[in-house]
Structure 1
Amino acid sequence: MSHQLGRIKAIFMDMDDTLVMTGDADLKAYTDVVALAKQLHAQVNAPKLLEAWKQLFLKAPWDPTHKVPVNEWRSGLWKQALQSLGIEKPQMAEALQERFRASRLEHFALDNGVKEMVADLRQQGYKVLIITNGHAEIQRGKLRQLHAVEHFDGIIVGGEEIKAGRAEKPATSIFLKACEMAGCTPDEAIHIGDSLPADVQGAINAKLAAAILVNRWHKALPRAGPYPTHIVEHVTELPRILKALQAT
């Protein structure tokens, strides 16, 4: 049963490294990929292979023109990484990408306490939505793995916004769309995420009631800002922040 809400009616949440420790899932996937690489090519220098792939991935995790399917694109990155070590094995590249994709999803889960927190917030009457940046196909795969449609009141994927001619975080439009979905005004919503430029700056630009930063590793904030309203180490600290915001 819902209670009488205060001025905050909706909570928007980032997904990667906020609701899910994506970086941890990546590390586990890398371990599995290294094991497979050694199995497929006994003499491979696995650390160098992984480093080469990471550098390529950071530059272009998917085709910027969106013409090449993302799985095919990432197989191509593994192929380039192998070639940088003098290994010409296209089928090995495809196998490494499939292992990375499958292993990453296998380890992709809502972090401890998140499901229960979200359920409790929704029971109290809050609308809880996910706003996630990234390639539509990749992000939708992650969301399916989480069964997110069962746990959240709405989902907005930045890659789908871009395809529709709009923009992802920190664009104000994506937060206003979330407000429309939640049936609230910007000053009745808060957003929490781990990115200063995307999450915090985006919430500030959209004039939300609060911009909350998840700072898991206690990184120093840049003097130039942006400055979050509150800083937490883990998203499950949110109810405490919410209580304080509702009291003001």
Structure 2
Amino acid sequence: MDDTLVMTGDADLKAYTDVVKLAKRLHGKVDAPKLLGAWKQLFLRAPWDPTHQVHVDEWRSGLWQQALQAQDIHDADMAKALQERFRASRLEHFVMDHGIKEMVGELKQQGYKVLVITNGHAEIQRGKLRRLGAADFFDAILVGGEEIAAGHAEKPAASIFLKACQLAGCTPDQAIHIGDSLMADVQGALNAKLAAAILVNRRHKVLPQGGPYPTHIVEHVTELPRILEALQATNPVEVAQEMS
């Protein structure tokens, strides 16, 4: 889902802009770039409580509080307000990229099963999926955080891909996967021995030596029908498709 179906990074940037406006209104002397820089470092280190004892919003409010304290601003209510604004604004700007809904509809009309596999915190990811109305047009959805809670694993573990194949009613060699992450998406699809591992490489990043290596590279997910046609031409078997 993230940065494949939706440009999550763009939504983040817009949310950060709204957070900065609120921070400056609540505390005139706040250094906005320093605040965001500190919060991003904390967020990358631990975006939610690894023990799952603290609610994700409370945890992230704590990250904002630590970022404020780095500027000698001690205001728990302000930190909570910044988290509320970040989450609400991020969801507000979380929209499906152009042409994807239409492509999914066309693929389903052609008989493909179209699924979403997304890593991340269950509550956060489910909120994003509800915002998209994803359940209305995808055949099934798997959330990595829910798999972990059930004692399984998220991408790149083969198990979540194989579960998707079961839900689609296909074998791994009848399924392809498309996503933006080399390690989570491409490696995961290779681990599960799917028919193809497609990388979305919007910014034409140079791939690192040593792999994992995708079977196909596209700039945008809407190039998928072209890849499917090529796959059917070389191996005319029924292929089910998985998106992340």
- 1:156 matched to 2:142? The reply is yes
Partner of 1:242: 228
Partner of 2:24: 38
Per-residue Cα deviation, 1:73-110 (whole angstroms, up to 9, x for no partner) = 00000000000110011000000000000000000011
- 1:23 matched to 2:19? The reply is no
Partner of 2:117: 131
Q: Secondary structure at the match of 1:130?
A: strand
Q: Where does the alignment leave 5 or more consecutive residues of structure 1 unmatched?
A: 1-14
Rounded Cα–Cα distance in structure 2 between residues aligned with 1:223 and 1:43 = 46
Per-residue Cα deviation, 1:198-229 (whole angstroms, up to 9, x for no partner) = 10000001000000000011100011000000
Pick the aligned partner of 2:74 from 88, 112, 117.
88
Equivalences for 1:1-248 in 2 at 5 Å?
Answer: 15-248=1-234
Per-residue Cα deviation, 1:105-128 (whole angstroms, up to 9, x for no partner) = 000011010111011101111000
Rounded Cα–Cα distance in structure 2 between residues aligned with 1:85 and 1:36 = 16
Q: Secondary structure at the match of 2:53?
A: coil
Per-residue Cα deviation, 1:4-41 (whole angstroms, up to 9, x for no partner) = xxxxxxxxxxx000000000000000000000000100
Q: Secondary structure at the match of 1:169?
A: coil
Query: One-letter code of the match for 2:76?
Result: P
1:180 to partner: Cα distance: 0.3
Rounded Cα–Cα distance in structure 2 between residues aligned with 1:186 and 1:25 = 33
1:151 to partner: Cα distance: 1.2
Q: Secondary structure at the match of 1:116?
A: helix
Q: Secondary structure at the match of 2:176?
A: strand
RMSD: 0.4
Partner of 1:8: none
Rounded Cα–Cα distance in structure 1 between residues aligned with 2:20 and 2:228 = 43
Rounded Cα–Cα distance in structure 2 between residues aligned with 1:67 and 1:108 = 27
Larger relative contact order, structure 1 or 2 (CA cutoff 8 Å, min sep 6): 1
Q: Secondary structure at the match of 1:170?
A: coil
Rounded Cα–Cα distance in structure 1 between residues aligned with 2:30 and 2:213 = 45
Rounded Cα–Cα distance in structure 2 between residues aligned with 1:122 and 1:66 = 37
Query: One-letter code of the match for 1:128?
Result: V
Query: One-letter code of the match for 1:94?
Result: K
Query: One-letter code of the match for 1:198?
Result: A
Q: Secondary structure at the match of 1:222?
A: coil
Rounded Cα–Cα distance in structure 1 between residues aligned with 2:40 and 2:160 = 29
- After superposing on structure 2, the runs of 4+ consecutive aligned residues of structure 1 that deviate more than 4 Å are none
Query: One-letter code of the match for 2:162?
Result: L
